[in-house]
Structure 1
């Protein structure tokens, strides 16, 4: 068998749908942690269901009492029985509803936490392959649908299902022949429900995708509101959102149409069964041995079946929504996490890095981002990567912490392949300052002392802030280190955000430092101050600095010029200028453009 045929078989295997029942049973496995609440809920629904045939039996007793003229004897008993039935029914309703809500919310809590736990362990390629809004829809909308499939669906299935069983049991006790006639309509109802189930699930999946589209557009418009305003994109974004919302509306209406047709069809089938049942019941040969109370109680019990059966078919739409949402959730939970085959533990690396014939291509891309890279960086030295945008500089740096796994060749640190190190140990030895600064919606202290550093003393945080030239502006803020920075640091300026990120890297004190345009958001004065801080930070550390402004990396030990994924020149600043090649051309171009 060829590789192509094998890959096609694997794809086809992945496309095989999981049955709705299997998915729902997997969802119900999350109920195990709340089994005590579930038992209390089931007990409540049993109480509720038992009161339905009890009402029919009480009605029989009332009719028989009236027909036999024994009203006086039951004058207190019957009203007391009515009150007792409704009290027990109310207790059952409370126990069933409240504790089922406990179960459902526990399930959703477990699902959401499991999904987030999975999210932080997924490889970087996943984050680049799915829009943020779609991912948020999985965590919010899909899990909300699961609540309905547990609370409402299980409540109805248990309460109304037990009610149907109780009423059928009472009817069989009263007259089994008439009951069998009524049961003939059950297969017909089953066919209607089966067809509706398939359509509900299909439409529910379409609604989830449409909701993902809605959150995608909204998320992008919120994040890029400044671009939307300045470039007049309001009408375009409004139209995008309208189309996404329209698709959601269209799918919702199709769902409601199917649901609205499903209920009256089932009701008509039940009404037909009732009409036939009464026609047979009025036959003297069948009802001759029934008292007036028996006859009224039997017809009442049969009539009471309509409501629970209708609700059982009506809840089908909610159940299918939950199953469709569960498909989406479990597909996410079953995704492969970031692979860590490393077994080598290390406390602190020296930082000697070597690329050997290393090539890399992004997942799904046709063209390689890096081709046969060979480079050696001694420990404690600084490597500057320069070149045009898109040449592969950031890719080279991002492979060091294993955000991606490369295709060919090797990257070694201290003579050991980075794939052999444990991921947590490898990354604990690397500090990173991104070109696009990432801050979290917390205080300045939280963002400097983040992750492994959260237990750091304030004195060390202050020292790191001073080293990053951030302490002066932090002191001027009303709350100092306790100042909230807003989502992604929106309450701070670009330069302030970058200095917070640099302080975070300084505090980590890692032997390997990656600076991806670390001073790009700073004004000239701040850049000089930061550059001094970085110079002292880079001492005795292996540093990989990516820069467009060559003035910031002239003192680097090694400068590598990257072009179309290949290193075309390497050496010191003076050596590269003497070559009069690509680096000299970049240098002359930048400095000729500088204002005099």
Structure 2
């Protein structure tokens, strides 16, 4: 990945900054607060000089106290405003990242770990916020203190000021090469943190698989490897900081010794008043402290640059809506429904999944797709849903290319019921209404429960529709998940119905009732079924046989059984399997 330039970093911050008025006011208060702090040593100088001659000026003392209080108040307000600005920047950035990520194409998620994406949205943005609030504000105030203090030092004693003009560039000469090293380490640290989080997400989301596979030891080793890598990068970062901070501190201490030695001599010889020396000491600390903190600022800046670089890569990813299709967008006269016209598709350049396939799924009819595992059945559904772009040909709906529709508008026409039904954490009601934009009445929900054979189950629950289903629907059986998906499809009232063995997890009695409901739902819709159990599609109006990415058969059951060798083989295999099952059960 190409490194992030400072200009690009500032560009991202500027893109998400709040109003110029708020930003300007915050910086103005910060500058005033830093400026006020420069007057404190001058007042202290006058107070000490008066004390030396045994005169106490109450007004000067009160003025010093008032200035301290004013500085504290300004410091609190300016810090709060900078925190507010930092939070505004990060919330806008996180919102933008989230809105981008959920609109990325499915192909992006095929090749990127979800845990790593989560890390970019949470950890990397936190690094940016921490830098802005905890490092940038002290850096700005520190810079003002350094410049102002050096100017005043020149006015009090130019020889002491010259010492700091030597120390200041020496500090940067030390920081610069180590800062570049810190940038590389920080990039690796952020990347490994994301990988670690991705691994945690993978394991915890599939903890049952880990358990029944007895893979705890394997995952323990993998997790330990990630932890060790993080440890090594942390040690590398610590080594750099261990060099930077002591060297800067030692350099500044040497300068302090010179200042105290020279200043003490000046006071002893009468070349300088005691108050002036006190003021100089104050200004020295106003230079030394921020100068020492600058070591941390630049190392944190490099870490933030690494985090921002990864965020920038997400921001530059194309959303689904932005992807320009190269399809010709055919518009031809066809039967109402979905038509695949010479479609070619591959997930990668190495292997073509669909090779010049053509078939039609006519509205009001039941079209089934059969074939061996890996033939491309699920891919056809993914292409209809526009999860992927086809390579050649076109897919038409009612004679119009599906790519000519707005993506959101197109997907709202479709309901997909799969055998492995995804369920979101939340209540049964939340899952039934998930993604549905129109207002749904209670009677519509109850009707969908009755049709999908869910009513008795839901009514038996203490909280009914508001019962929580757990992560990924862990509190539901496979059949209950499937019936919820069917009920959701009924509520959604789609134009296109995609069914992937939608009754696979139901018992015989429930399957019969739900199948009747699905048959009613299919009326006047375009329905395509992926069939694993051929007995469920024998009555289909049309069966498409997929074989090695091509359509090798197209017609009704009895026609294909006579003419298509693969279809005959699949039917015979299932007949034998069913007979053996009957014998075992008897």
User: Which of 131, 136, 160 in structure 1 is aligned with 2:118?
Assistant: 136
Matches within 5 A, 1:499-510: 499-510=483-494
Unmatched tracts of structure 2, length 5 or more = none
How far apart are residue 223 of structure 1 and its match? Answer: 1.6
Q: Which residue of 2 aligns with 1:394?
A: 378
Partner Cα distance (1:525, 1:61) in 2: 97
Structure 2 residue 435 is the aligned partner of structure 1 residue 442: no
| Separation in 1, partners of 2:455, 2:517 | 13
* 1:105/1:147 contact within 8 Å kept: yes
Partner of 2:69: 87
Structure 1 unmatched runs, 5+ = 1-14
Contact 1:384 1:558 (C-alpha < 8 Å) held by counterparts: yes
Counterpart CA distance in 1 for 2:435 and 2:175 is: 52
Are the counterparts in 2 of residues 560 and 571 from structure 1 also a CA contact under 8 Å? yes
- Map of 2:318 onto structure 1: 336
Deviation at 1:114, TM superposition (A): 0.5
The residue that corresponds to 1:298 in the other structure is 280
Determine if contact 2:335/2:399 at 8 Å carries over to the other structure. Answer: no
2:6 to 20, 39, 55: 20
Is 1:56 paired with 2:38?
A: no
Higher mean displacement: 444-453 or 113-122: 444-453
Aligned to 2:471: 487
The answer (yes or no) to whether the contact 2:339–2:360 under 8 Å persists in 1 is yes
User: More deviation in 170-179 or 43-52?
Assistant: 43-52
Shift of the alpha carbon at 1:40? 4.7
The aligned runs of 1:313-332 (5 Å cut-off) are 313-332=295-314
Tell me by how many angstroms 1:309 deviates. 0.9
Does 1:256 pair with 2:238?
Answer: yes
* Aligned counterpart for 1:113 among listed residues 71, 95, 98: 95
Residue 122 (structure 1) shift: 1.0
SS at match of 2:225: helix
Are 2:340 and 2:394, in contact at CA under 8 Å, matched by a contact in 1?
A: yes
Matched ranges for 1:335-484 at <5 A:
335-338=317-320, 339=322, 351-362=336-347, 364-453=348-437, 455-484=439-468
The answer (yes or no) to whether the contact 2:4–2:306 under 8 Å persists in 1 is: no
Contact 1:356 1:411 in 2 (8 A): yes
Pick from 216, 219, 226 the counterpart of residue 234 of structure 1.
216
Q: Are the counterparts in 2 of residues 44 and 94 from structure 1 also a CA contact under 8 Å?
A: no
Aligned to 2:554, which of 560, 570, 574? Answer: 570
The alpha carbon displacement at 1:277 in A equals: 4.5
Q: Deviations over 1:88-147 (max 9, x none)?
A: 232123112222221122211111111111012111101111111111111211111111
> How far 1:276 moved relative to its partner?
4.3
**Paired residues of 1:152 and 1:315 also in contact (CA < 8 A):** no
TM-score by length of structure 1 reads 0.90
**Per-residue deviation, 1:44:** 4.2
- Asked if 2 retains the 8 angstrom alpha-carbon contact of 1:513 and 1:544, the reply is yes
- For the 8 Å contact 2:423–2:481, the answer to whether it is kept is yes
CA distance in 1, matches of 2:519, 2:449: 15
* Matches of 1:453 and 1:247, distance apart in 2: 46
- In 2, Cα distance between equivalents of 1:221 and 1:303: 51
- The whole-number CA distance in structure 2 between the counterparts of 1:367 and 1:155 is 55
- TM value normalised by structure 2: 0.92
8 Å CA contact retained: 1:200, 1:317 = yes
1:29 aligns with 2:15: yes
Deviation (angstroms), 1:395: 0.4
Bigger Cα displacement from structure 2, 38-47 vs 557-566: 38-47
- Count of aligned residue pairs for this structure pair: 574
Aligned to 2:179: 197
